[in-house]
Amino acid sequence: MSIETLETSQASIKSTSAQFDNTSFDKAVMSTYGRYALALERGQGCRVWDTQGREYLDFVAGIATCTLGHAHPAMVEAVTRQIQKLHHVSNLYYIPEQGELAKWLVKHSCADRVFFCNSGAEANEAAIKLARKYAHTVLKIDRPIILTAQSSFHGRTLATITATAQPKYQKHFDPLVPGFHYVPYNDISAIESAIGELDEGDYGVAAILIEPLQGEGGVRPGDVSYFRKLRQICNETGVLLIFDEVQVGMGRSGKLWGYEHLGVEPDIFTSAKGLGGGIPIGAMLAKKFCDVFQAGEHASTYGGNPFVTGVALSVCETIEKENILSNVQARGEQLRAGLKQIAAKYPQLISDVRGWGLINGMELHENIELTSNDIVNAAIQEGLLLVPAGPKVVRFVPPLIVTEAEINQALAKLESAIAKLN
């Protein structure tokens, strides 16, 4: 389908033009999310429309997920093709689309093989299981420990909230899963002492699970020197180095993988979010030496089915064909420069602007009342969608196809929102 045809068919979709009934929604749907009073029903590129036809610039992109924006012709074509051809069969059989996507990922990363699942948490679960099996069978550790970083985020299953070293995600869900130990991020001496202290009796450090850039934890990039030293320690001790690339990977950082910014390769890494451009897919990728799973040891009914892998492959090929990484780099620089100008105008409110490519954070001073959520609410009034990364950091994660003009529009809307709040 051409862009023109798609735009015509999109334009013919009328908004409901009615006030959305949140009350009946809230009665039927569990209250696991703090929702903004906004019901979205249509999207095109970097824009979305609510049920009353109001337009928003979408700098959330399903939280760093809709790589190609909304209703991208390549995705519309792939979804249509795949649903007509074959959407689901079991992994009891070979799935050609799954093989093609795995080959693309292997060709474009340091990994040798891929396991497919449905989400970031599930990909991290797979990595945790693989690391534990490697510890038992290769490292000969009876009680393996995985080190994770404070302020990290790795998902919402029991093992991944345990890996997530933030008490707010763990409260009331104990007993947690044993075998995790937390260290401060970007602090190499903490890693060295943890490895030394925890290697006792049956216990031993099997792996370090870490984000190249902490996303939910406040858009905090990893230090190059810290990650190089991590790699060196892992080489010397045999501890596995696992990177969670769920948010920062698949081109969001301006390079395909976050680890490319750090000059080190992981032994295992996970991907989800941007990999499918908005369809649910996750992946755990590993180097050959630690790929110790045997048939029957791990599985997922939907994992890597023809529908998701066919669509994700078209997302990957579009990123490559349309040279989207160079857009991410240019637009990221433009966005950070604009945010820094706004920060310079409001030094009493904004303390820092940081990020890689199109994952950026604007941090507010700790000692003021204003929160990231206040900014997000004010931006919604201006027609701009943003998402907090903690109470003091506003996150900007637009689709990777965002244009120069859209970045300028978003900056103008943000500035107007801040001016009103101020």
Residues in touch with ligand PLP (CB under 6 A): 119-121, 124, 153-155, 211, 215-216, 244, 246-247, 272
Cα–Cα distance measured from residue 419 to residue 252, given in angstroms and rounded to the nearest whole number: 29
Given the residues 59, 115, 116, 244, the one annotated as active site = 244
Which of 43, 13, 4, 54 lies closest to 399 in space, CA to CA?
43
Enter the tokens of residue 51: 């049920």
CB-wise, 159 or 378, nearer to ligand PLP? 159
What's the burial of 115, exposed, middle or buried (CB within 10 Å: 0-12/13-18/19+)? buried
Which of 145, 134, 109, 411 lies closest to 275 in space, CA to CA?
109
Active site residue 187: no
Relative to beta strand 40-44, strand 47-50 is antiparallel
Asked if residue 116 lies in contact with residue 309, where contact means CB atoms within 8 angstroms, the answer is yes
Q: How far is the CB of 367 from ligand PLP (least distance, A)?
A: 28
Active site residue 255: no
Residue nearest to ligand PLP (CB): 120
CB-wise, 339 or 397, nearer to ligand PLP? 397
Q: Which residues contact 205 (CB under 8 A, 6 or more apart)?
A: 144, 145, 146, 147, 181, 194, 195, 198, 199, 237, 239
Q: How far is the CB of 272 from ligand PLP (least distance, A)?
A: 5
CB-wise, 242 or 350, nearer to ligand PLP? 242
Q: How far is the CB of 374 from ligand PLP (least distance, A)?
A: 22
Q: How far is the CB of 157 from ligand PLP (least distance, A)?
A: 8
Active site residue 340: no
Given the residues 273, 293, 307, 413, the one annotated as active site = 273
Collapsing DSSP to helix, strand or coil, 179 comes out as coil
The torsion region of residue 80 among left (phi > 0), alpha (psi -120 to 50) and beta comes to alpha
CB-wise, 49 or 153, nearer to ligand PLP? 153
Given the residues 115, 153, 293, 307, the one annotated as active site = 153
Q: How far is the CB of 324 from ligand PLP (least distance, A)?
A: 20
CB-wise, 147 or 370, nearer to ligand PLP? 147
- Please list the active-site residues: 153, 244, 273
